[in-house]
Amino acid sequence: MAEQVVIIGSGPAGWSAAIYAARAELKPLVFEGAITEENRLAGTLPLGQLALTTEVENYAGFPAGDLKGFLESAIDPERFQYMFVHEGKHAVTGPELMELMRQQAVNFGTRIVTDDIVGVELQQRPFRLRLLGGETIETHALILATGARANYLGLPSEETYKNRGVSACAVCDGALPRFRNKPLIVVGGGDSAVEEATYLTKYASKVHLIHRRDKLRASKIMQERATNDPKIQIEWNHTLEEVLGNDKEGVTGVRLRSTVEDATRELPASGVFLAIGHTPNTAFLKGQIALTEKGYIQWSQPFRTTTSVEGVFAAGDAADDHYRQAITSAGTGCMAALDAERWLAAQGIH
């Protein structure tokens, strides 16, 4: 028998959609993603981008405080292995927040499958979804909440030093002790790169912004911010050729390559932050639903989570390359569940 609603994705959008759908008695089934080496390397393991961050200080409702007792009472002890729990007073961490949302969805009857959906057939009804192992399931309504992942350059040295100085999120990791009062590298020339560089000046002795051209892509105001900040030095016309480091210290520097002459040079640094854009996790949807040029799912109406296929709704970063916040994703997840519920009711399915 077909499911009433399937939710693909396990970030704030997926869990918020599940909480609302479960409370509406839609018995949602969530595909939270598979635990595979491929997903680990791509940054698409269950619980999404927040599972890769440390403290989340801007999610409303979670001021810094001692969450230990609450976490122990709210969450199954078996799930503690997935959480990054600090002792003492702190803001909620990304993994803690995701475990709390996951548990809240479970509490209302959400069923969870730890697997990927790798293909969809949206031209038929009910919709058919294909799992990693080849099995298929059917659903009347579908909520897509597969999120996005930060782009990396694909250098082997970048991979070697991930979590030991290489990051794609200054706001998540910038305050770590290893980055304090040390030179840091940001790669990219867009708004994110400038935003990350500016943010890192709080901690770094100097921030080198590495850009492959001689003009920033960032908006004018952000360009001015970068050029006027005495702590930011823009290294024009350079790409990152290699992250340098060792087992003991992690990242110790970078080697840059000029894009205008045949030359390389090295800079000392204790951290490298990639800000070269994000890729939505929507490859499995190609040809089935309208995507934007950059591959984001297209919402078909303003302030609705409807898509080009009736009965398919999109939430979170998979459809949003503008706000990209945990709280906005959670908001659109809630909207998608409400939209799905109304649509199912109108079809006489619910």
Least separation, in Å, of the C-beta of 327 and ligand NAP?
16
Contact call for residue 267 and ligand NAP (CB under 6 A): no
Least separation, in Å, of the C-beta of 254 and ligand NAP?
13
Least separation, in Å, of the C-beta of 257 and ligand NAP?
11
Q: By C-beta, is 221 or 346 nearer to ligand NAP?
A: 221
Contact call for residue 295 and ligand NAP (CB under 6 A): no
Angstrom distance (rounded) from CA 310 to CA 47: 27
Find the farthest-apart pair of alpha carbons in the chain and give their distance in angstroms, rounded.
67
Angstrom distance (rounded) from CA 12 to CA 6: 16
Q: By C-beta, is 45 or 275 nearer to ligand NAP?
A: 275
**Using CB under 6 A, which of the segments 12-20, 101-109, 209-217, 225-233 binds ligand NAP?**
209-217
CB-facing half-sphere around the CA of 315: CA atoms within 13 A:
32
Contact call for residue 109 and ligand NAP (CB under 6 A): no
Q: By C-beta, is 217 or 304 nearer to ligand NAP?
A: 217
Tokens of 312: 């398919």
Contact call for residue 224 and ligand NAP (CB under 6 A): no
Handedness of CA 150, 153, 156, 158 (dihedral sign): negative
85 has which bridge partners?
A: none
173 labelled catalytic: yes
Q: By C-beta, is 187 or 226 nearer to ligand NAP?
A: 187
The site for ligand NAP, by CB under 6 A, has a size of: 17
The residue from 116, 173, 320, 339 that is catalytic is 173
Return the residues of window 167-206 that contact ligand NAP according to CB under 6 A.
Answer: 187-193, 195
172 labelled catalytic: yes
Cβ 50 vs Cβ 12: under 8 Å: yes
142 has which bridge partners?
A: 6, 312
The residue from 116, 169, 320, 339 that is catalytic is 169
Q: By C-beta, is 208 or 350 nearer to ligand NAP?
A: 208
Return the residues of window 119-138 that contact ligand NAP according to CB under 6 A.
Answer: none
Phi and psi based region of residue 63 (left: phi greater than 0; alpha: psi -120 to 50; beta: remaining): beta
Angstrom distance (rounded) from CA 146 to CA 9: 4
Q: In what order do the strands lie in the sheet with 183-187?
A: 166-167, 271-274, 183-187, 206-210, 232-235
Handedness of CA 272, 82, 149, 171 (dihedral sign): negative
Site string for ligand NAP, 231-250 (x = CB under 6 A): --------x-----------
Tokens of 257: 């390559």
b/e for 301-317, b at 16 or more Cβ within 10 A? eeeebbbebebbbbbbb
Residues that bind ligand NAP (CB under 6 A): 153, 187-193, 195, 212-213, 217, 239, 275-277, 321
Active site residues: 169, 172-173
